[in-house]
Amino acid sequence: MPRIPPAPPGPGQTASERIINCPVEGTFYRAPSPDDQPFVEVGASVRVGQVLCIIEASKLVNEIESDLDGVVTEFFPQNAQPVVFGEPLCRIQT
């Protein structure tokens, strides 16, 4: 699966904030199944390699991992929402 590096700070962002972007078009899910807890809650600390969410694309499940250590401050898409390549998925405060 292609990796998109964290985006550089955009307008209104500081150097300590990064956006994790979508590497593949599909459907965004915050948990492995509807009955499970989300992989990560807003406000939670994450480490490099920790699963943030999944994207289902053509019946394949792609785990989206954090590329950096920090705290998740925001998820952009809603659960079960379609997402496209390059779309912001979450913001991490480093």
**Quick one: pLDDT at residue 79?**
95
In this structure, the dihedral spanned by the alpha carbons of residues 1, 19, 66 and 58, taken in order and rounded to 10 degrees, is -30
d(CA 20, CA 14): 15
Report how far apart, in Å, the C-alpha atoms of 17 and of each of 44, 46, 58 are: 15, 13, 31
- CB of 30 closer than 8 Å to CB of 38: yes
**pTM of the entire predicted model:** 0.82
| Residue reference for tokens 């694309």 | 57
User: Could you give the 3-state DSSP secondary structure of residue 40?
Assistant: coil
Alpha helices (H) in the chain, listed in sequence order: none
Q: Give the amino acid at 35.
A: D
**Quick one: pLDDT at residue 35?**
93
- Options 2.40.50.100, 3.90.230.10, 3.40.50.1820, 3.40.50.970; CATH for 24-93 is 2.40.50.100
Per-residue pLDDT of the chain in tens (94 residues, 90 and over written 9) = 455 555 555 555 566 888 999 999 999 999 999 999 999 999 999 999 999 999 999 989 999 999 899 999 999 999 999 999 999 999 999 8
The two three-digit tokens of residue 92, written as one number = 């991490």
Break the chain into its structural domains and give their ranges.
24-93
**Quick one: pLDDT at residue 8?**
55
